[in-house]
Structure 1
C-alpha cells in the first residue's frame, strides 16, 4: 500500500535520495524545502523546522493532500563549523535548535496521527560525527548525538503503539557539503575511513528505506551506521 512519507530537508543531497527511494517504491512523498522547486512527482512544502507554527502548517498541507504522515524522516539540518574557542553561543545554539530541536518539533507533530493509527515509522538522520567526534564540529556533534538519545527515548515511549523509532548515522557522503571541503581535508578524512571512499546518498537512502519497511517491523531504538566503518558503531 502507498504510504504518506514526509522527509524534512528532502530537496537535495541525502534527503533527496531518501525521498526518491520512497517514491520509487510507490509511496506518496512530501519534502520540506526553503527554496527551489520540488522534484517531479513530490509535494514540496515550505518549512523552517525551528519554527513550530511553520511545522504545523507544513503538516496540515501534507495531511490535506497525502493523509496523515505514516513515515517521518527527520533529515533537515545545518552546520556552522568553528573551533570551540572561536565559536559563538549563537552558532552553537542555532545548530542545536535546527538539528535536534527541529527533529523534536516534527516528531511530536507526526506522532499525533501515528498514535491514532497505532502504527508508524520515525527515522532520524544523525551522523558518524555523533559517535566519534570531530574537531571544529562540537555543535554539530552535540546535536547529532542528542538525536540518538532523543530517538531511543521515543522508541520506549511509542513502541507499545506500534511505532518504531530508529537512527541512521551517515559518514562522509558525496554531497555538496563534502564537495565544499578543501581537497586536502577531504583526502585526510577519507584516509580515516576503512573502506577508503565517500558514501553515496543512495546507500544512506537504502538504510532508511529498510528501517521504514515491513522487514524492519521488529527493529526499534537502533542506530544504523552507514559510514564505511569510520565510527565503528555505537
Structure 2
C-alpha cells in the first residue's frame, strides 16, 4: 500500500519545501484554500518527480477537513502522516482571524486525523517561537480547554486577552497566544494519539524567508536577528528538513513535545541578558 502524506498549507513556502522532501518516499496530497496556488505548486512538485494530488480545504471548517482526509485516502492509500503548516501571521488578518485559523483550525486538523490515525502514524503541527515568548499572565489558559467544545468562546477569549497591547499589537499578541495554544494542545493530545499507536509533535519556526515571513520582516521579525545566534532568516528547506524528519518513521519515540527552530534567537536573548 502506498504511504501518503497530507500537507496543509502545502502551496506555501514551508509546506511546499516539506512536500518536496516527503515526496521522495510518499505520495503527497497538498491542501490549501486556493486552487490556483495548488495548481502551481503541483506543477513544481511534479517536475521534481513527486507524485502529488491537490485538495481545496478550509481548515476552520471541520467538515471540510474531514472531506480532505477522505479524499487523500480515496485511492486506497493510507494517510501515514499529516504536516499541518497552514496558518496566518499578524499582518494577514485581524486578531479574530488569527484565533480562528491558527487555533480552531489546528483543533479541526488534529481531531480529524486522530479519528483516522493508527499504528506508526504522525501529526506534526507548526507552532512558532512566538508561542514561547509570551508571559503566562497573557495566556487565557482556562479558555484553551474550550477549544473543542466551544470554539467561539475559545476564539473570543484570545481576542479579548490580545487587546491588552492596544490596537497596534492586537493581531500580534493574538498570534502569540494562538501559537502558545498549538504548543499546549499538541502536548494535551499526546496520550490520545499514543492510545492509537500514533504520535503528535509540534515544531516552532523562528524567522524564515517565506512569503509569510517576509510580511513580518518590518514588523519585529528583523529585530530578532540582533540577538540570534545565526544572523539571518532561515531557509524554507531548513525548516522543511525538521518537519519531514518529525513526520518520518525514524523518530518513533518522539511525541508530545515541541522542537524550537529559531536560529538560536531565544538562546541569544537569554544569554545576552546574563552577560
Normalising by structure 2, we get a TM-score of 0.74
Structure 1 position 173, deviation (Å): 0.2
Q: 3-state DSSP class of the match of 2:116?
A: helix
Bigger CA drift: 67-76 or 162-171? 67-76
1:189 to 1:156, Cα distance in 2 relative to 1, 3 A: same
1:71 to 1:188, Cα distance in 2 relative to 1, 3 A: same
Structure 1 position 56, deviation (Å): 1.9
Structure 1 position 113, deviation (Å): 2.1
CA contact (8 A) 2:7 2:15 kept: yes
Are 1:55 and 2:58 matched, yes or no? Answer: no
Are 1:97 and 2:100 matched, yes or no? Answer: yes
RMSD value over aligned CA atoms?
Answer: 2.4
Are 1:28 and 2:24 matched, yes or no? Answer: no
Are 1:80 and 2:90 matched, yes or no? Answer: yes
**CA distances 1:164-213 after superposition (whole Å, capped 9, x unpaired):** 11110000001112333456955433223221111111111111111122
Structure 1, unaligned stretches of length 5 or more?
Answer: 83-89
Match in the other structure for 2:273: none
Structure of greater Rg: 2
Match in the other structure for 1:122: 123
Partner of residue 177 from structure 2, selected from 137, 142, 150: 142
Q: 3-state DSSP class of the match of 1:48?
A: coil
Bigger CA drift: 62-71 or 147-156? 62-71
CA contact (8 A) 1:68 1:113 kept: no
CA contact (8 A) 1:33 1:47 kept: yes
CA contact (8 A) 1:95 1:143 kept: yes
CA–CA separation in structure 2 for the residues paired with 1:139 and 1:170:
17
**CA distances 1:99-126 after superposition (whole Å, capped 9, x unpaired):** 1211111121112221xx3331011000
Q: 3-state DSSP class of the match of 1:215?
A: coil
CA–CA separation in structure 1 for the residues paired with 2:52 and 2:29:
6
Structure 1 position 29, deviation (Å): 0.6
Structure 1 position 131, deviation (Å): 0.8
Match in the other structure for 1:87: none
Normalising by structure 1, we get a TM-score of 0.86
1:120 to 1:56, Cα distance in 2 relative to 1, 3 A: same
